[in-house]
């Protein structure tokens, strides 16, 4: 059985609508991935895409750390994290830890829609159809 690569999806409250719009636009591409997400974001994505999402806790309750742990274990292939730079986050330390792990593990990471579009569609993305042609 072939294991699908994993995309982790996270969005702060002020960016959830933007992530949902991006995920909806990329719905057919995202079907090729195993999706994991922090609690609230993942629930919204499941409803929007009508596809299963493995749910972690919400970010403030440790969800960012759970995804970071999976990244350390090699279980995250792409990180899409629409964070809100204009709002203080009570779990900012966890956010920084997750982003640090993504850099250390060389995980392609998008923190905005433009970068997410590049990562998900790039022929350099070994999981994209363009790279397989």
- pTM for the model stands at 0.91
Place of tokens 């042609």: 133
| Long-range contacts at 47-56 (CB < 8 A, ≥ 24 apart) | 48/20, 48/23, 48/24, 49/23, 49/24, 51/27, 53/9
Please report, in tens digits, the pLDDT of each residue of the chain (133 residues total): 568 899 999 999 999 999 999 999 999 999 999 999 999 999 999 999 999 999 999 988 999 999 999 999 999 999 999 988 877 677 778 889 999 999 999 999 999 999 999 999 888 777 655 444 4
Domains annotated for the chain, with CATH where assigned, are: 6-31+47-115 (3.40.50.1380)
Catalytic residue IDs: 64
What's the CA gap between 83 and 95, in Å, rounded?
9
């Amino acid at each position: 059985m072939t294991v699908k690569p994993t995309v982790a999806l996270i969005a702060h409250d002020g960016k959830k609508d933007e992530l949902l719009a991006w995920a909806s636009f990329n719905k057919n591409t995202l079907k090729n991935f195993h999706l994991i997400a922090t609690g609230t974001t993942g629930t919204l994505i499941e409803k929007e895409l009508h596809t299963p999402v493995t749910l972690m806790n919400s970010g403030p309750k440790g969800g960012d750390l759970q995804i970071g742990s999976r990244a350390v274990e090699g279980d995250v292939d792409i990180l899409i994290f629409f964070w809100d730079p204009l709002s203080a986050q009570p779990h900012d330390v966890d956010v920084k830890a997750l982003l640090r792990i993504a850099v250390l593990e060389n995980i392609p990471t998008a923190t905005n829609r433009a970068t997410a579009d590049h990562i998900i569609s790039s022929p350099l993305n070994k999981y994209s159809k363009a790279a397989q042609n």
